[in-house]
Amino acid sequence: MPDRPKPVSDGTLPREFYTRANVLTVARQLLGRLLVVRSRDGTRVSGIIVETEAYRGPEDRASHAYGGRRTNRTETMYRTGGTAYVYFVYGMYHQFNVVTNVRDAPHAVLVRALEPVEGIARMRRRRPGRADHDLTNGPGKLCAALGISRSLDGADLLGPRVWLEEGRREVRASQIAVGPRVGIDYAQEWADKPWRFWIKGNPYVSRSATRRLTPRPRSS
């Protein structure tokens, strides 16, 4: 497995973890890491990352930065690795991404699912009536449960508001499943890239994770 930059003394992932050139490596190695959000009252709400998707602009048709697109929303993707990229979709949901690589290389990893660790009572209040396995098993769900909104877009992942830690268990290569990304049929041949990664058998992985594991048939 590729080398992993060592965490800083408090367990927070260092800048060097994010600025590596291969976004697929970062997407894999985010599995098992702890995503932490500090609530307004100073308490921690967190979860273990169990599912990710990699996006590699500008050539990736599924990326918001495809073709070098730069807008008010996508500008965050062009920042230095270790920046939070949070956007709003369908008029309903926020989605949390980790910007990777160096400045002006628009690579990012979408965090698709978490296993709740800290602040579970708060997650239940934010998503009332949901079973615990349904609190964070999707990109919109985890943002609601952790209180992630556009206010965190552009936040430094080594800063005091949101960050990632080494985690509590190592995920071996044999424990990682790989498949195509979700909801990007518009991306043509890029829709079949095996750039989604998840922990096999984890009950908090999104329901869509095990769907469409083989490429779609192409029309002649």
CA angle 178, 183, 188 (to 5 degrees): 85
| pLDDT computed for residue 218 by the predictor | 44
Average pLDDT value for the chain:
92
Give residue 217's pLDDT band: very low, low, confident or very high (50, 70, 90). very low
Q: Give me the domains of the chain, ranges plus CATH numbers.
A: 15-208 (3.10.300.10)
Q: What does the pLDDT look like over 2-39, one tens digit per residue? A: 566 766 657 999 999 999 999 999 999 999 999 999 99
For 3, the token pair is 């080398």
Of residues 3 and 148, the one with the higher pLDDT is 148
Nearest-angstrom CA–CA distance, 51 and 206: 8
Mean local confidence (pLDDT), 61-87: 97
> pLDDT tens digits for 153-171?
999 999 999 999 998 778 9
Q: What is the average per-residue pLDDT within 205-209? A: 81
Q: How confident is the model at residue 207 (pLDDT cuts 50, 70, 90)?
A: confident
- Vertex 18: Cα angle to 15 and 21 (nearest 5): 125
Amino acid present at 28: R
**Cis-peptide, bond into residue 58, ω within 30° of zero:** yes
At 211, the pLDDT band (50, 70, 90 cuts) reads low
> What is the model's pLDDT at position 209?
63
Average pLDDT over every residue of 44-69: 98
Closest of 196, 185, 165 to residue 13, by C-alpha: 165
Q: Which helix (H) or strand (E) holds 95?
A: strand 93-100
d(CA 69, CA 56): 13
Contact criterion met (CB below 8 Å) for 136 and 47: yes
Q: What is the pLDDT of residue 220?
A: 32
Q: Give the pLDDT score at 2.
A: 54
Q: Which residue has the tokens 């956007």?
A: 87
Give the pLDDT of residue 144: 98
Q: What is the mean pLDDT of residues 99-105?
A: 98
Tokens of 135: 């609190």
Residue 151 contacts residue 81 (beta carbons within 8 Å): no
Closest to 63 (Cα-Cα) out of 106, 4, 17: 106
Q: What is the pLDDT of residue 7?
A: 65
Which pLDDT score is estimated for 212? 53
